[in-house]
């Protein structure tokens, strides 16, 4: 294994499968920039019996030509002309059969699978035939396939309609770093920030390893943000556009959905999105919502007490949220734009909402701190008569944690008027929901709730440090 930060569960799966006595077809998927290729290459230290990565927007012939070159590189000999993917996998089989060390696993890594599947290429049919006719009978073969277009991977590799359905022996979904992993990664880069700064970093870059790798040691978070987003020719100023082009063949509708959701913090129903965009309700719209959910841009969730028709879609991708709020359309010449916004109302509003999303990304840590990891629970929100609760943890043990989330630079103080507001909101929720469960007021803050006469009205609290648990 190489020097990999986090990804303990994923490395364990790879180690177990590589040592198995049976053929393995391992599918790794997740959005771009999340570290799929890095994980595999570091784990195996680039020691593959064959490695090929698809060419972004490459033609079928360009893909086949490069596949041919890689075959000659790994085999050390001239290979036959490759005209189709069936030819390509026939040549690959011949190369792998020639490997003499019978005690060593055969490790093949095909990266960015969706890019190889160009129009009318019959790539999936050829790969399926290669696996079924030879791979699945060779106990030494460990075939790892990887793709960033998460929906393509689900439909063609993992779903019950895909050509390789029921052929994969294990699938690995690679998620963004957690706060814990982000802290570990920054330490490995000798970037020394406190946890408040790391949380704000997470709220901007979303735990995406590639973006974190661009941070410079010795500079503050603010300096790094200005350099990466707002300086002339800033490297991440157009990343949002590239993300959508690389993930979806036709990204216009996907971006329209994202940008309408960016203005609705609690989310919107399918019907509300459709009406706002003035589009027809059909297959393209359904596919776009599923694609965005598969790639972790949005999350579908239930409002408390609502049926399936009340499902809300909410923008949860922190990098996208930051881009749409501050980077899209930025025409200024201020190279210190982010640092100069330190005390602005806009930045305070953004940080409050982004911290709520950060908490949703760390529900497991929240439940652990509350001591309810083993209790069945639903995570939802509620909106009623002039009141809104962004996070409810509705538990099977007849309790609901009503969570108040506050991002502040010091202890949060509950004033007399705010205490009255909280109690009134609880009563509105109890009355509207008609619940008989116990309502536990829970505060999630950066540095805790300040001791005063009103703190006693909350049943539990979680601080930022708790979210850094592994």
Distance CA 444, CA 269 (A): 27
pLDDT in tens, 224-283: 999 999 998 899 998 888 887 777 767 788 889 999 998 888 889 999 999 999 988 888
**Between 412 and 158, residue with greater pLDDT:** 412
- Distance, in Å, from the CA atom of 357 to the CA atom of 368, rounded to the nearest integer, reads 18
Structure-model confidence comparison of residues 3 and 349, the more confident one: 349
Q: What are phi and psi of 403, to 5 degrees?
A: -95, 130
In a shared domain, residues 285 and 413 = no
pTM over 0.85: yes
In this predicted structure, the answer to whether residue 1 has a pLDDT above a threshold of 50 is no
**Domain closes at, from 173, 189, 224:** 173
Does 321 reside within a domain? yes
Q: How far apart are CA 2 and CA 411, in angstroms?
A: 41
Task: With cut-offs at 50, 70 and 90, classify the pLDDT of residue 101.
Answer: confident
* Residue 298 Cα to chain centre, angstroms: 10
If asked whether residues 231 and 377 sit together in one domain, one would say no
Query: Domain for residue 218, yes or no?
Result: yes
Strand bridging mode 106-111 / 438-445: unpaired
Q: Is 25 helix (H, G, I), strand (E, B) or coil?
A: strand
**For residue 439, is pLDDT > 70?**
yes
SS3 of the chain: helix, strand, coil, percent, to 5: 45, 15, 35
What span, in angstroms and rounded, lies between the C-alpha atoms of 308 and 1?
44
Residue numbers of the domain that contains 339: 179-237+330-350
- The Cα 14–Cα 19 span in angstroms is 9
With beta carbons less than 8 A apart as the criterion, state whether 24 and 66 touch: no
C-beta of residue 361 within 8 angstroms of C-beta of residue 207: yes
Q: What is the pLDDT of residues 182-205, one digit of tens each?
A: 999 999 999 999 999 999 999 999
Instruction: Please state the domain count of the chain.
Output: 4
The set of residues, in sequence order, having a beta carbon less than 8 Å from that of 278 and lying 6+ positions away, is: none
Domain-located, residue 355: no
Q: Is 189 part of a structural domain of the chain?
A: yes
| Residue 18 near residue 182 (C-beta atoms within 8 A) | no
Same-domain pairing of 115 and 222: no
**Structural contact between residues 146 and 140, judged by C-beta atoms closer than 8 angstroms:** no
**How far from the centroid of its chain's Cα atoms is residue 41's Cα?**
20
Q: H or E stretch including 115?
A: helix 113-116
The pLDDT score that the predictor gives to residue 375 is 94
Whole-number pLDDT of residue 177 = 94
Please report the pLDDT score of residue 3 as a whole number: 77
Of all residues in the chain, the percent with pLDDT exceeding 70 is: 97
Res 260: pLDDT: 93
Domain containing residue 118: CATH number: 3.40.50.300
Query: Are residue 319 and residue 337 in the same domain, yes or no?
Result: no
* Residues 314 and 294 occupy one common structural domain: yes
What pLDDT, on the 0 to 100 scale, is given for residue 330? 84
Q: Strands 377-384 and 387-395, how do they pair?
A: antiparallel
Query: Mean pLDDT in the chain?
Result: 91
336 pLDDT tier (thresholds 50, 70, 90): confident
Q: Which residue would you say has higher pLDDT here, 93 or 305?
A: 93
Task: Report in angstroms the alpha-carbon separations of 56 from 62, 245, 293, 446.
Answer: 10, 10, 23, 42
Calculated CA dihedral for residues 368, 298, 206, 242, nearest 10 degrees:
160
Assigned domain for 71 exists:
yes
Phi, psi dihedrals of residue 373, rounded to the nearest 5°: -55, -35
Per the domain annotation, does 142 fall within a domain?
Answer: yes
> pLDDT by residue (tens digit) across 374-387?
999 999 888 887 88
């Amino acid at each position: 294994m190489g020097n990999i930060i986090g990804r303990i569960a994923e490395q364990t799966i790879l180690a177990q499968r590589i040592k198995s006595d049976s053929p393995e077809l391992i599918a790794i998927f997740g959005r771009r920039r999340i570290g799929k290729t890095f994980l595999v290459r570091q784990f195996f230290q680039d020691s593959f019996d064959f490695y090929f990565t698809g060419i972004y927007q490459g033609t079928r012939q360009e893909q086949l030509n490069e596949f041919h070159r890689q075959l000659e590189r790994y085999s050390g000999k001239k290979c036959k002309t490759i005209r189709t993917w069936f030819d390509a996998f026939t040549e690959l089989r011949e190369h792998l059969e020639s490997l003499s060390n019978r005690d060593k696993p055969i490790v093949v890594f095909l990266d960015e699978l969706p890019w190889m599947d160009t129009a009318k290429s019959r790539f999936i049919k050829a790969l399926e035939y290669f696996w079924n006719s030879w791979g699945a009978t060779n106990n030494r073969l460990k075939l790892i396939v990887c793709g960033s277009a998460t929906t393509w991977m689900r439909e063609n590799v993992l779903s019950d309609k895909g050509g390789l359905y029921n052929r994969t022996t294990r699938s690995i979904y690679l998620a963004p770093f957690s706060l814990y992993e982000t802290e570990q990664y920054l330490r490995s880069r000798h970037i020394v920030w406190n946890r408040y700064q790391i949380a704000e970093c997470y709220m901007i870059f979303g735990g995406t390893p590639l973006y974190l790798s661009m941070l410079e040691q010795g500079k503050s978070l603010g300096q790094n943000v200005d350099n990466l987003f707002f300086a002339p020719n800033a490297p991440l100023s157009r990343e949002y556009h590239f993300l959508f082009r690389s993930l979806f063949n036709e990204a216009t509708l996907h971006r329209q959905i994202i940008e309408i959701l960016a203005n609705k913090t609690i989310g919107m129903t399918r019907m509300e999105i459709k009406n706002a965009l003035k589009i027809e309700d059909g297959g393209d719209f359904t596919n776009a919502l599923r694609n965005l959910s598969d790639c972790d841009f949005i999350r579908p969730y239930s409002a408390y007490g609502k049926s399936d028709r009340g499902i809300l879609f909410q923008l949860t991708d922190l990098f996208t949220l930051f881009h749409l709020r501050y980077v899209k359309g930025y025409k200024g010449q201020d190279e210190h734009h982010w640092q100069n916004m330190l005390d602005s109302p806009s930045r305070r509003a953004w940080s409050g909402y982004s911290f709520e999303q950060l908490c949703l990304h760390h529900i497991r840590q929240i439940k652990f701190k509350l001591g309810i990891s083993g209790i069945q629970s639903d995570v939802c929100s509620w909106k009623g008569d002039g009141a809104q609760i962004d996070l409810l943890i509705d538990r099977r043990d007849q309790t609901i944690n009503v969570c108040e989330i506050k991002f502040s630079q010091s202890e949060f103080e509950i004033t007399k008027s705010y205490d009255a507001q909280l109690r009134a909101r609880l009563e509105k929720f109890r009355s509207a929901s008609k619940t008989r469960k116990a309502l536990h007021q829970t505060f999630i803050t950066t540095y805790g709730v300040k001791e005063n006469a009103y703190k006693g009205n909350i049943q539990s609290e979680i601080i930022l440090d708790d979210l850094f648990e592994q």
